[in-house]
Structure 1
Amino acid sequence: MSTLLKNVTNCIWHAFDSLQNNAVVHKSKLKVLTANLGTLLDLYGVEKGLDHFRSSQELTFDEFRYYLQHEVFSSLPKAVTLHIIRDYEKKINEVCWLVCRKNLVSRDKPIFSDDSVFKLFRIFCLLADLVQDADDSKHYVVVLQPSEAGIVAEQLVHCLGLRWDAADWEALGSSIGHFKWAAFLAVLEAKYCCDQQIHSKALVEAVDEVYDVFIEDIIKKGYLYKRGYLLPTMREYWCVLQPCALTYYKSSSQREQCGRIAIDEYCSVEAAAGEGKLQRFQLITPDRTFEFGSQDHKSRLQWISALRQAALVSGGAEGYQRRARAGRRGAGARREREARETKARLQHEVRARLAAEAQAQELAEMAEQDNKKLEELKHTQVELEKLLQEETQAKRDEEIVRALQARVLAEEWERREELERLQEEQNRMLEEERLKRKQFEILQAEKEAQFREAEKRLKELEREKQRLDEELRAAQEKITKTEVTAQALHVQLRDMAPGLRNGERARRAISFVPTTKSSSDTLIDVRAIRHLKVLDDDGKL
């Protein structure tokens, strides 16, 4: 059963890797693992042979795989159906998962449940490759190609109802390279399932959907109407299509199985005509013809295509997804081989082209040597003609230069005359400006003299004003004194009135008034005389 060992090698390596220490595992641990594997395969005592296998107490993975192939899996019958192989794979994966579960489940922020992680682990082991470590040739690692990981991630994203970005995944795959289990699980959880809006139940259903596609090899599932064998009525069932069988249940929970139709390469599917709203088709097997119906024409076409595909891949001991994986690998290998062949062909064409170019170069060199003298003569003739043309052109250029020089000289004279005219005009304007400036200076000097004269006159007027103010103050003082004197004289005249005559009193009174040459004194005398005249006419004070 080399096929079974090949299918479960990746999960066995994970169990071996969780037990190993420095790329080897002690036989005592391997005996427990081998005994469990033998129990699953109904083989007992297969672990006892490890005591006599090799002389060391520790085995590498190559040695352990060799022992399993020749001492355990070789005891199984060669002719085993795909259903039995799939059952064996599931049990072996469960045992290996129990061994390595602690190392593979541990992470900082888990999103998937442990059951979903186990299902993703089985998908990883199905699509991954066991390769030698680049750092240590004795050590192996299980890695998943970015293209295969992208298929799983795309299926999971579609099941979650999200949008798949192929370009983003290509960039991520090119940066990471080959995916190990931890990286694969981390990318799925952190990049596509970390949204808080995604319910945990939706994650479980999405992982189950992907698990059904890759592990259970479910090509298609959905509701179909099936005609009964005894009662010719159409009843609705939940149908699940696998490469080897079409199983139908009462509901989508798949708890109550109502029947199972085996499918092989001898089965065929044909569309059938019928009455009513159902779109009918027939599944023809060697034993019986089954009639089914769907709600619409599109669904019928999808089921017919899926059933034909299941009949096509039903034979063999490998499942549908393993064949698809092998087909993808084969297509990739063919593309790489075609690329290598194209590259080799291009290199051959380049070498042939280089050889042809070398031969052409040799012929060209020979022709060049044969025509060398002719080329030299032609070159000499060309040189002479060139010299003649150069001389003729030089004469023409000389004439052109002379004409240009004459024109430039004439232009220079014109410019010189213009400059002289402008200079004369500028000198004239400077002279006029100088005269204007002298006139302005003379006028300014006159204005300054007038200003100084006016300033001098102003000062004299100020001194005259001060003098007149002083005289006015002196006159006011004299008026004040005269008024005081007049009052005193008035008092004396009043006292002297009874003993004097009218005329004598007047003369005496006048004789007492002081006489001065000033205008203010004259004013005082007149006032005094008028006052005295009044006194004289009345004859009394």
Structure 2
Amino acid sequence: MVLLRNVSNAIWHAFQALHQESEGLVAKTKLKVLTANMASTLDLYGVEKGLEQFSSTSTLNFQHFLDYLQKEVFSSILITKLRDLRQYEEKIEEICWLICRKNFTSTLFKDTQIFYLFRIYCLFSDMNSDGDFSVSLNPEEAVIILQKVTESLGLDCEKDKRITSLNKGHKTFDFQEFINLFVEFKDDKHSLEYDQSMYEVINDIYQTYIKDVVKKGYLLRKGYLLPTFKEYWVVLQPCELSLYKNKNEKELSGVIQLDPQFALRPIHCNSPTKSEKLLKFSLKSGERNIEFATRDHKSRIQWITALQLAITYSAGERGFQRDLIIRRKKKREYEEKMKKDEENIVLKQFEMARSQLEEEKRARKAAEELARVDSRRVAELEDMKENLEKLLEEEIQAKRDEEIVRALQARVLAEEWEKREELEQLQKEQTALYEEEKQKRIEFEQLQKEKEVELSLAEQKLKELEDERIKLDKELKHARFKIIRSEETKEDLESRIDSLLPTLSGASLRRTSSFVMSSSRDRPTIFENQVFDTRRSRIKK
């Protein structure tokens, strides 16, 4: 029933937007359409037909409609993954928005922006079931949203009159009043640039609270085929880690589905480049091991903390932001309960004081009767009466002050214990981080020494190879020069032979040609001699 509880506020808005036959009642024929649309998103069909037999009347109030949805529609849905739950929530709230959006229009915002604000309002608002159902936004939650807006626009939250007025007031907000809060920001600077900024702010709030984005930013990831780190724009949610090529989040490079089986482990290793150092950590689940890296220690701590938080919430029934909202709501309920208890204590003390005053009045009447007998005794009793009344009032006031101080002391003591536990936890984490960094520094220094030795050996070897290459280049140039000289000599000889051919007889010509051929076959080439000399020099070395 988690899905129904999460979308109840949106369903209430759709219920209110339908034409009502009377106050708080909607015809079943119109509720059938809403039920059929919501059921189709859940792959259920025909469940709206049961509305006719659910009640003998032709109309239903919101409580009966919720009971029917819980029994006939949402009870058959089994959702085990937070990602699927978030998709169903978006589809159902979009259906509800299509029904009720005609009641919430604004010329200053686009339809997409109003829909984003509608989902944000449904997430933060509370449903009051006392008497008639209603959905309203607590001013504390409105302050949190507006603080996010002012920070995104570069304004000062503490000096903004809109936020300070909300902190002082105790009025709840409906959705139209919630839209008007954003309209006030646009009225300040109504320009195209400011409109684009407001759109980005609303989209950022939507991503943070509705999409439950825990953290965004650049992160280095090690490749599978090539062991090099590549930078990605990463969007972290409780159920998945999405990697994009750039900040506009249009080209998706990969998605890592998170679950409680993943474990985080920091890794100490140098960056593959000489100009920078990378601080690594791994995300491991079974045999799957994914390595990430950052360029500074602070970023690594932030990413490890955010990833641990996302892994913790990956198997839960509600996201991180919804859990924070529920915690704040429980805290407000607890504070209201404590306030009522304090008021009851003060009321009881007042009743006791009033009973004491009644007793004093009766005692005064008895004293007046006795005073009739003795006038002197009457004067004494009057003085006693005045003193007793003063003492009683002082005692009552002292008891009230004592109870208030005790309540405040108990609250301060509880807060002190919480702060002390948080401080001890932070001290433990700081000590662990210090020891870890100390060990890493020792390992890094050792590794650096080894790398320096290897670098010196490599430089020496490189110098030797460079000398040998220069020597071989010289030998190759010399061999090429000899080959060119041999070719020139050969061409000169052939030209001389051609000039002597007419004067020589046939026998002489044959003897000359055979002599030249035999001499050319028997004599090794200049290049062969050069290769032989090179091999002989290497053997000597």
Normalising by structure 1, report the TM-score: 0.60
Flag the structure with larger Rg: 1
Checking the alignment, whether the CA contact within 8 Å between 1:265 and 1:314 is kept in structure 2 is: yes
Q: CA deviation at 1:93?
A: 0.9
Range 325-334 or range 238-247, more displaced: 325-334
Matched, 1:199 2:194: yes
Which position in structure 1 is the counterpart of 2:116?
Answer: 119
Q: Distance in 1 between matches of 2:124 and 2:293?
A: 35
CA RMSD across the alignment: 3.3
User: In the alignment, residue 28 of structure 1 is paired with which amino acid?
Assistant: T
Q: CA deviation at 1:292?
A: 1.4
Matched, 1:41 2:42: yes
**CA offsets, 1:34-69, max 9 Å, x none?**
111111111111111122221221111112111111
Which position in structure 2 is the counterpart of 1:59?
Answer: 60
Change (3 A) 1:266 1:230: same
Q: Distance in 2 between matches of 1:356 and 1:306?
A: 60
Change (3 A) 1:346 1:132: closer
Which position in structure 1 is the counterpart of 2:236?
Answer: 241
Which position in structure 2 is the counterpart of 1:326?
Answer: 326
**CA offsets, 1:380-414, max 9 Å, x none?**
xxxxxxxxxxxxxxxxxxxxxxxxxxxxxxxxxxx
Change (3 A) 1:347 1:59: closer
Which position in structure 1 is the counterpart of 2:100?
Answer: 100
Q: Distance in 2 between matches of 1:193 and 1:230?
A: 54
Which position in structure 1 is the counterpart of 2:26?
Answer: 25
Q: CA deviation at 1:247?
A: 1.5
Q: Distance in 2 between matches of 1:170 and 1:269?
A: 42
Q: Distance in 1 between matches of 2:81 and 2:220?
A: 29
Q: Distance in 2 between matches of 1:142 and 1:345?
A: 32
Matched, 1:148 2:145: no
Which position in structure 1 is the counterpart of 2:221?
Answer: 226
Correspondence list, 1:156-167, <5 A: 156-165=149-158
Which position in structure 2 is the counterpart of 1:5?
Answer: 4
User: In the alignment, residue 327 of structure 1 is paired with which amino acid?
Assistant: R
Range 178-187 or range 28-37, more displaced: 28-37
Checking the alignment, whether the CA contact within 8 Å between 1:157 and 1:192 is kept in structure 2 is: no
The residue matched to 2:37 in structure 1 has which SS?
helix
Checking the alignment, whether the CA contact within 8 Å between 1:268 and 1:285 is kept in structure 2 is: yes
The residue matched to 1:223 in structure 2 has which SS?
strand
Matched, 1:265 2:260: yes
Checking the alignment, whether the CA contact within 8 Å between 2:10 and 2:96 is kept in structure 1 is: yes
Which position in structure 2 is the counterpart of 1:427?
Answer: none
Find the partner of 1:169 among 146, 163, 173: 163
Q: CA deviation at 1:307?
A: 1.4
Which position in structure 2 is the counterpart of 1:253?
Answer: 248
Correspondence list, 1:72-471, <5 A: 72-77=73-78, 79-105=79-105, 107=106, 110-132=107-129, 137-138=131-132, 140-165=133-158, 168-172=162-166, 174-175=168-169, 177-191=171-185, 194-197=188-191, 198-275=193-270, 276-340=276-340
Change (3 A) 1:261 1:28: same
Q: Distance in 2 between matches of 1:24 and 1:182?
A: 22
User: In the alignment, residue 25 of structure 1 is paired with which amino acid?
Assistant: V
Change (3 A) 1:132 1:173: farther
Q: CA deviation at 1:286?
A: 3.8
Q: CA deviation at 1:343?
A: 5.7
Q: CA deviation at 1:164?
A: 1.7
Q: Distance in 2 between matches of 1:355 and 1:47?
A: 61
Structure 2, unmatched stretches of 5+, are 271-275, 360-376, 378-541
Checking the alignment, whether the CA contact within 8 Å between 2:241 and 2:258 is kept in structure 1 is: yes
Q: Distance in 1 between matches of 2:59 and 2:343?
A: 47
Q: Distance in 1 between matches of 2:339 and 2:225?
A: 59
Q: Distance in 1 between matches of 2:340 and 2:170?
A: 25
Correspondence list, 1:525-540, <5 A: none
The residue matched to 2:217 in structure 1 has which SS?
strand
Q: CA deviation at 1:324?
A: 0.8
Q: Distance in 1 between matches of 2:326 and 2:248?
A: 32
Checking the alignment, whether the CA contact within 8 Å between 2:139 and 2:169 is kept in structure 1 is: no
Change (3 A) 1:330 1:130: closer
Q: Distance in 1 between matches of 2:237 and 2:287?
A: 19
**CA offsets, 1:8-33, max 9 Å, x none?**
11111111111132321112111111
Q: Distance in 1 between matches of 2:141 and 2:349?
A: 36
Checking the alignment, whether the CA contact within 8 Å between 1:112 and 1:203 is kept in structure 2 is: no
Q: Distance in 1 between matches of 2:175 and 2:242?
A: 33
Structure 1, unmatched stretches of 5+, are 360-375, 377-541
Q: Distance in 1 between matches of 2:288 and 2:298?
A: 25
Q: CA deviation at 1:173?
A: 5.2
Identity, in percent, stands at 39
User: In the alignment, residue 172 of structure 2 is paired with which amino acid?
Assistant: H
Q: Distance in 1 between matches of 2:14 and 2:357?
A: 62
Q: Distance in 1 between matches of 2:279 and 2:119?
A: 38
Normalising by structure 2, report the TM-score: 0.60
User: In the alignment, residue 147 of structure 1 is paired with which amino acid?
Assistant: E
Which position in structure 2 is the counterpart of 1:516?
Answer: none
Q: Distance in 2 between matches of 1:48 and 1:317?
A: 30
The number of residues matched between the two structures is: 359
**CA offsets, 1:507-539, max 9 Å, x none?**
xxxxxxxxxxxxxxxxxxxxxxxxxxxxxxxxx
Change (3 A) 1:282 1:48: same
Q: CA deviation at 1:357?
A: 13
Checking the alignment, whether the CA contact within 8 Å between 1:240 and 1:248 is kept in structure 2 is: yes
Q: Distance in 2 between matches of 1:63 and 1:340?
A: 31
Which position in structure 2 is the counterpart of 1:407?
Answer: none
Q: CA deviation at 1:354?
A: 11
Change (3 A) 1:350 1:205: same
Change (3 A) 1:354 1:87: same
Which position in structure 1 is the counterpart of 2:14?
Answer: 15
User: In the alignment, residue 312 of structure 1 is paired with which amino acid?
Assistant: T
Checking the alignment, whether the CA contact within 8 Å between 2:143 and 2:166 is kept in structure 1 is: no
Q: Distance in 1 between matches of 2:287 and 2:353?
A: 66
Q: Distance in 2 between matches of 1:263 and 1:213?
A: 18
Change (3 A) 1:47 1:194: farther
Change (3 A) 1:358 1:167: farther
Change (3 A) 1:59 1:234: same
Checking the alignment, whether the CA contact within 8 Å between 1:223 and 1:239 is kept in structure 2 is: yes
